[in-house]
Structure 1
Amino acid sequence: MIAASFLAVCFLAGALTIASPCILPVVPFVFAGHGQPFLRGTLPLLAGLVAAFASVVALAATGAAWAAEAHEVGRALGLVVLAFAAATLLSSRLAAFAARPFTNLGGRLSEQVGTGAGASVVTGLAAGLLWSPCAGPVLALILAGGAASASPLATGVAAGAYAAGAAASLAVIVLAGRRLATGLRAAASMTHRLRQVAGVAALGGVVAIASGFDATVLAQLPAPAAGRIESALVGRLPATAKVVLAPASKPSFRSSLPVLGDLPSLAGATGWLNGPPLAAEALRGKVVLVQFWTYSCINCIRTLPFVRTWAETFAAKGLAVVGVHTPEFAFEHNESNVRRALARFGLTYPVAIDNGFKVWRAFGNESWPGFALADAQGRIRYRTAGEGQEARTEQAIRDLLAEAGAARDPASTPAAPPAPGEQAAADWDHLRSDETYLGYAQASRFASREIVAADRPQVYSYADLPANRWGLSGAWTIAADRAIGAGVDGRVAYRFNARDLHLVLGAGRAANSIRFQVTVDGHAPGPDHGSDIDAEGFGAVSETRLYQLVRQADGPRVRTVEIRFLDPGVEAYAFTFG
């Protein structure tokens, strides 16, 4: 049996759905029939919507893979039907053609369903197929209740109550709008124009749903007030109904983090490291931290100690960390390079290879690094970009773990993991130099005497460099994304103002490593040497990655660093600072 209070919450939450952006694509189809009688137009459409929604949710409660496939087929069919329905609003000839079958059957069926009722039911069924994923937290509650009772019928009844609430609110709005339309009915041209406007809006909704644009936009919007009220209603359920979400042994803590959308698919990954492929559905029940990074990015590198610590510390409490490696440079597409980076940084959690940027786009990510945190129900609850937000991110992890049932420890201080070499946090208070690319596509602050000769060898030279300027000396080929040493004794220099200086370097086609020597203000760096060179300034490029060349022991000040390459063929990509 289903508690009456549970059905009441489902109905009321459905009524509130009208205030959610998620239902907007359905609204034009409801308003499009304002010219028909309510019993033959709007009511059959709403009934079809309720029936489709309840059926889809009941089917989903069975948990079968074929059910999910059937829903995808139904969704595609729904898009086709709604697109055709929208087109009939724009063209009176097409509308007459579509109505012809109903007209032919009218003599037999008009007394029972009316001329437009059948078409309205079909449109409602199609709208319900598209709207079913939009129920928010109550849908999760309904599905959990169905799983607990092992009754798809009970689940369908609860889903029907939710859909009926939404249909009721739509009906009220349509009836209110019908009074306004009645005043305009004398103007036939105005009625025709309203139908065309509804058709354009409906086609726009179909295109948005088919392309996934609606989901992308909704994921960026803050949780609407209706969603917050809906969540509060779920929280007020009596314990007998609430058990489907959280056993009584779990704490009642509820995070204030908003719902930002569903956890997107990871299916766009071109490969996986540190484990088999993961699907977003397989992560349900865990709090999931998705980390977008690329291995030569200094901002990403400086967050790795925290991500590594979170993965180790909170795994037993229900946290799953998933790295998504999305490359910036061409060499970062090489899976072997990424494998070496994982070993170098001690990362053991699963990492998706996202060479096609498909996962990046699915999440709407825009930066390296970028983070998305999902709760145990598969909903994105927190996002952040760049470094420097580690304490906030850790608190969000703790909150969602507590919400999922883990023991809450509010007195815990944020992690302060060891951060060797280039992984150490930047000295932001004294950092005065910016990331600088050496390839001509993004190069800036170039101070050699010669003009850049793109993609062909040229001899360059420099004298005294102004602050935050760089130059090349010797034979170099400047390509779009890098500068390539074309001979022995090629040099690159930068006058910088920061504690740390790094340079992304590769050995190119060289059979062995490429030796180099670093000087600071014309001398061996001594105690100011970085983690990839010795006190005399010697180092070697053995793989394509970021190399730390300078870490000033006495704090940052303006210095000139010069790197002299003792072997030809080096590839230099970008300076970064810390």
Structure 2
Amino acid sequence: PAAGGSMMMAASDAAPPALPVEGTLQSLAGATGSLNSPPLDAQALRGKVVLVDFWTYSCINCLRALPHVRQWYERYRDHGLVVIGVHAPEFAFERDVRNVQRAVQDLGVTWPVALDNDFAIWRGFGNRYWPAHYFIDAQGRIRAHHFGEGDYEESERIIRALLREAGSALPDDAMPAMPAMSAMSAPRGGVEREADMGNLRSPETYIGHARAENFVSPGGLRAGKAFDYTVPATLRLNQWALGGRWVVGDEDARLRQGGGRIAFRFHARDLHLVLAPEAAGRPVRFKVRIDGHAPGAMAGGDVTADGDGQVDGNRLYQLIRQDGAVEDRSFEIEFLDPGVRAYAFTFG
């Protein structure tokens, strides 16, 4: 049946190849906090199959993997699967437990989350990626891993194989197919929709000077100093620019006066921007334009058809979602108030 239809075919439940032992479940004692459960102890998890999911809440790749993690948790938690989300922050605001608590609630994350602000658990696993999934058997041994998005059916086959090894009686012999994204339980389903890889020609782009690339405002980035930037008349694909008075730091740019702009020439179905207000409780209004016009039907989930929106929290904002032909387009966001912090563009 077509994607999004009401019928689902059962996926193959063929056992994966013999799973080697890659290591052992590392200590979780380095967590700086815990959400949705008391602090977790690796020894106490013996006898359970464990999925460890390294993530951070503003990461678009993590958000797109989240519906699958949610499905596995809901489908197998009563059969011996424990899911642990290890939240390892990329940006400074993701270290604030209040921000993570809000994200966990908004995203419908109901399984245990270990806060790894010091990256102690991350280092214990030798991890290097968001998202990263480690599959651990009932004896506490790491039997498989997967880095990044994709291969979700294979990951589920691994979970089922480890549950069977542990003696779990699964509900049926055939692995149920993962429902289409439109049918998934996704509180922010627009953001969590899988990327249109065939049309994805723009890379993740950081705004802070430590990792900025393809920046073309005249004079370049002026690290740590207030500077009046201008946007060139034309941008080539994947070039971006600032307009107005900004202070560019290591990981973000901070707007000092209202009317500041960010422009980007991109090619992708979706455009997202990680944003935060400098002062809690003081939203920053913005207006989005695409090819010089209000986005209309191309407005993302955080924007009206007229292009209006506001930065009211520290998170990823979906600003453009194209459902028609995907072409090179010129994006611009104007902030009507000062006090916004801009971190990174991501695409889908």
TM-score, length basis structure 2: 0.91
| In 1, Cα distance between equivalents of 2:16 and 2:121 | 29
Specify which of 31, 36, 49 is matched with residue 274 of structure 1.
Answer: 36
Cross-structure match for 1:574: 344
Deviation at 1:413, TM superposition (A): 3.4
Q: Shift of the alpha carbon at 1:404? A: 1.1
Corresponding residue for residue 505 of structure 1:
275
2:142 aligned partner: 380
Q: CA–CA distance in 1 between the matches of 2:238 and 2:304? A: 25
Aligned to 1:414: 177
Give the distance between the partners of 1:361 and 1:429, measured in 2 at CA: 34
Please state whether the residue corresponding to 1:288 is helix, strand or coil: strand
Residue 293 (str. 1) matches residue 55 (str. 2)? yes
In the other structure, the counterpart of 1:442 is 211
Partners of 2:312 and 2:299 in 1: how far apart?
18
Of 516, 523, 527, the match for 2:286: 516
**What code does the residue aligned with 1:361 have?**
R
Greater percentage in helix: 1
Report runs of 4+ in structure 1 exceeding 6 Å deviation. Answer: none
- C-alpha displacement of 1:390: 1.5
CA distance in 2, matches of 1:254, 1:464: 51
Counterpart check, 1:560 vs 2:330: yes
Match of 2:197 in 1: 428
In the other structure, the counterpart of 1:167 is none
Per-residue deviation, 1:322 = 0.5
Post-superposition offset of 1:531: 0.5
Q: Is the 8 A contact 1:503 1:574 kept in 2?
A: yes
Q: Distance in 2 between matches of 1:444 and 1:274?
A: 38
Root-mean-square deviation over aligned CA pairs: 1.4
| SS of equivalent to 2:160 | helix
Cα shift readout 1:247-276 (whole Å, capped 9, x = no counterpart): xxxxxx997211111111111101100110
1:455 aligns with 2:217: no
C-alpha distance in structure 1 between counterparts of 2:278 and 2:268, whole Å: 28
Distance 2:312 2:154 in 1: 37
> Which residue of 2 is the match for residue 265 of structure 1?
27
| CA distance in structure 2 between the aligned counterparts of 1:267 and 1:573, rounded to whole angstroms | 31
Distance across 2 between alignment mates of 1:254 and 1:340: 37
Q: How does 1:15-94 map to 2 (within 5 A)?
A: none
Secondary structure in structure 1 of the residue aligned to 2:267 = strand
Higher strand share: 2
CA offset at residue 410 of structure 1?
4.2
Aligned to 1:394: 156
**Counterpart contact for 2:281–2:312, Cα < 8 Å:** no
Aligned partner of residue 407 in structure 1, secondary structure? coil
Answer whether contact 2:16 2:157 (CA < 8 A) is retained: no
Q: CA deviation at 1:451?
A: 2.3
Matched, 1:322 2:84: yes
* 1:108-257 superposed matches below 5 A: 256-257=18-19
Measure the CA separation in 2 of the matches of 1:386 and 1:535: 32
In the alignment of these two chains, the number of paired residues is: 326
Q: Distance in 2 between matches of 1:452 and 1:318?
A: 52
8 Å CA contact 1:431–1:497 kept in 2: the answer is yes
CA distance in 1, matches of 2:35, 2:197: 33
Provide Cα deviations, 1:389-430, integer angstroms capped at 9, x if missing partner: 222111100111111112354422332352511111000111
**1:532 partnered with 2:313:** no
Contact 2:302 2:309 in 1 (8 A): yes
Contact 1:255 1:403 in 2 (8 A): no
Q: 1:480 aligns with which of 250, 265, 269?
A: 250
What is the percentage of aligned positions where both structures have the same residue? 53
CA contact (8 A) 1:371 1:384 kept: yes
Match of residue 364 from structure 1: 126
Task: Report the secondary structure of 1:338's partner residue.
Answer: helix
**Matched position secondary structure for 1:477:** strand
Gap change, CA 1:569 and 1:510, over 3 Å in 2: farther
TM-superposed deviation, 1:453: 1.3
- Contact between 1:369 and 1:387, CA under 8 Å: does it hold in 2? yes
CA distance in 1 between counterparts of 2:318 and 2:81 reads 32
- Where 1:443 maps in the other structure, the secondary structure is coil
More displaced 10-residue stretch of structure 1: 436-445 or 454-463: 454-463
Q: Quote the Cα distance in structure 1 between the aligned partners of 2:160 and 2:307.
A: 44
Q: Counterpart amino acid of 1:411?
A: A
State the shift of 1:511 in Å: 4.5
CA pair 317-331 structure 1, distance change in 2 beyond 3 A: same
The answer to whether 1:304 aligns with 2:66 is yes
User: Out of 483, 492, 506, which is 2:262 matched to?
Assistant: 492
8 Å CA contact 2:16–2:158 kept in 1: the answer is no
The CA distance in 2 between the partners of 1:387 and 1:255, in whole Å, is 21
Give the partner amino acid of 1:532. Answer: D
Q: 1:478, CA displacement in angstroms?
A: 0.8
Deviations 1:354-411 (A, max 9, x none): 0000000111111001111101111111111111122211110011111111235442
Unaligned stretches of 5+ residues in structure 2: 1-14
Unaligned runs of 5+ in 1: 1-252
- Paired with 1:364 and 1:573, the residues of 2 have a C-alpha distance of 26
Q: How many Å separate the matches in 2 of 1:497 and 1:373?
A: 35
CA contact (8 A) 1:295 1:338 kept: yes
What is the DSSP-based 3-state SS (H/G/I as helix, E as strand, rest coil) of the residue aligned with 2:328? strand
Whichever of the two has the greater Rg, that structure is: 1
Aligned-partner SS, 2:214: coil
Q: Distance in 1 between matches of 2:223 and 2:60?
A: 27
**Hey, what's the Cα distance between the residues in 2 that align with 1:294 and 1:365?**
13
CA distance in 1, matches of 2:325, 2:117: 38
